[in-house]
Chain A
């Protein structure tokens, strides 16, 4: 120990600094090299990270673009087959509404195929009878209106003509000439009559074309109605098998939760749709009673229109009142002003009853849509399917909302039970 300390004491400070410098110099060089290589590495890694980030952004952009393209294709496809989709959706809704009735008959001991056939035939009979009644009633009313209007018009013209002095009668013939054709104003009275007859013929042909167009429309609606009924029949009779076939494709691990989820959706949708049907019927009946009191023609049809229009929130009741207002102009028990006030009272009254009683009792708050969503979906529905789209937009959106709510509830329950089960 003592020797060592003596040797250390003999070493000069300058020598030790040289030794240190000699040792530190290569070290600092190495450190500088390491630092430089680190910097290079970090630059490279930064470049690589940047590259990966750019690649990620690129991939994300591609995926977003692909998603947008996919959605666009899907929307275009839906738009292209919208008529078929409408039929399928309406059939699905009808089968949903009729399912409890089939269940009721099954409960009475009637086999399901027979119950489904019976219910469908009953609805078909009702549909045909209703269509016949409506068409006959409309034709009768139009015929009556036309005859009475024509008679009234002829009487009025005769009255006016007889009361006029001969000079004015000649002037009126001149006016008729102008009305027929300005270029042929040199025609004599006989020619004016001939030209008038020709004009009337043209008018009749035009009206006939309109009637043919309307008949075609009615026929097409009737055929669509029959197709809807048949599709509903297949949904009703094969619905259980369809569900079983779907459930067969579900993996064992999630079989029970999916079954419970489907049941929840089924319950919620069924309740909602049946409530909407009851609501529509109640409103249609209230309006019908009101319109009958006002003595409006086609009161039944006006009531049905008002009931259906009520499916469109906010603006629906007012749309439903428009045909009634038009009918007031055709004929009513009371004067124009009184009838219009009556329609206003019916529309507002029905709204109050609907908002205060029917909706809270039947439908509840869970499927309520906020005003902006409602307006947007009604507009989108109108864009896709016109009036039917407007009618179906809110119920379909509400159904979608119910499905999402049920999905979230089930998913929460499923994940909770998995946590609890520790599996």
Chain B
């Protein structure tokens, strides 16, 4: 390989990197998490992003492991599963391109609450807490915007979970009432049977 080939290869790599960065910026631009950020801010965010490739069946995050950040699915499909106390595994969701997961990992390092596995060969964009904290030092406004949006998403999820919990509670109450009514009718039936006998 001549020297000029090496130079052109480097130029090629540089332009590839620029193209990838543009693709990532375009993807981030469409996401709720980054909707309040300017293009310049998005380019900054792209600087701290890591592009990772996962083969089908490979785990991206593992339940119980300390969280370090979040992932956006750039291309591919993943499955979110949870291990129950009896050891059985339940599937919680299937996510595809444009979706993200593990966002709470950007805020703290508490253990992951579910396992995420690639269903087919997938390309991810990862953002990690250490890099975000560094960004806070140099770009405080950008980082606070991002964390505020993240907090809004988490709050909205919390509201959704609360609503679901309330619904579940009211269903339990209804079931309890039905059960009580059934028990009363059972007692009545027993009394009636005793009287007949």
Contacts and interface: CB of A to CB of B under 8 A. Distances in A.
A253 to B, nearest CB: 8
Nearest to A104: B138
Given A417-B66, A420-B111, A107 B128 contact: no
Contact of A421 (B52, B62, B69, B134): B62
A335 interface: no
Contact of A252 (B52, B111, B131): B52
A240 B109 CA distance: 23
A244 B54 contact: no
A240 B47 contact: yes
B68 A256 contact: yes
B12 interface: no
A103 B61 CA distance: 31
Given A244-B50, A259-B68, A260-B130, A252 B60 contact: yes
Contacts of B126: 255
Interface residues of A, number: 26
B65 A100 contact: no
B59 interface: yes
Contact of A107 (B59, B112, B130, B137): B137
Interface string B35-77: 0000000000001001011100011111111111100000000
Given A259-B128, A259-B130, A107 B140 contact: yes
B10 interface: no
A103 B47 CA distance: 14
Contact of B138 (A107, A247, A423): A107
Contacts of B137: 100, 103, 107
Interface string A404-423: 00000000011001101111
Given A106-B138, A252-B58, A423-B59, A417 B52 contact: no
A218 to B, nearest CB: 37
Q: Tell me if A's interface is mostly helix, strand, loop or mixed.
A: helix
Nearest to A107: B138
Given A420-B111, A421-B111, A413 B66 contact: yes
A423 B50 contact: no
B134 A103 contact: yes
Q: Tell me if B's interface is mostly helix, strand, loop or mixed.
A: mixed
A46 B112 CA distance: 53
B128 A418 contact: no
Nearest to A256: B68
B139 interface: yes
A202 interface: no
B83 interface: yes
A262 B109 CA distance: 15
B146 to A, nearest CB: 15
A263 interface: yes
A414 B67 CA distance: 11
Interface in A50-107: 100, 103-104, 106-107
B11 to A, nearest CB: 16
B139 A106 contact: yes
Contacts of B83: 422
Interface string A258-270: 0110110010000
B68 A260 contact: yes
Most buried by A among B47, B59, B67, B68: B68
A413 B66 CA distance: 8
A417 B64 contact: yes
Contacts of A423: 59, 62-65, 115
B50 A247 contact: yes
Given A107-B137, A256-B128, A418 B68 contact: no
Nearest to B105: A256
A79 to B, nearest CB: 32
Contacts of A420: 64-65, 111
A418 B67 CA distance: 12
B138 A256 contact: no
A313 B184 CA distance: 85
Nearest to A244: B50
Given A417-B111, A421-B111, A423-B59, A256 B69 contact: yes
A263 B130 contact: yes
Nearest to B87: A422
B69 A107 contact: no
A100 B112 CA distance: 32
Interface in B128-185: 128, 130-131, 134, 137-140
Return the 6 tightest CB-CB contacts between A and B, nearest first.
A421-B64, A263-B130, A103-B138, A420-B64, A256-B68, A417-B65
Interface of A: 100, 103-104, 106-107, 240, 244, 247, 252-253, 255-257, 259-260, 262-263, 266, 413-414, 417-418, 420-423
Given A100-B137, A107-B137, 9 more contacts: A103-B138, A106-B139, A107-B140, A256-B68, A256-B69, A263-B130, A263-B131, A418-B62, A421-B62
23 contacts: A100-B137, A103-B134, A106-B138, A107-B137, A107-B140, A240-B47, A252-B54, A252-B60, A253-B59, A255-B52, A255-B126, A256-B69, A257-B66, A260-B109, A260-B130, A262-B130, A263-B130, A417-B65, A418-B62, A420-B65, A421-B112, A423-B63, A423-B65
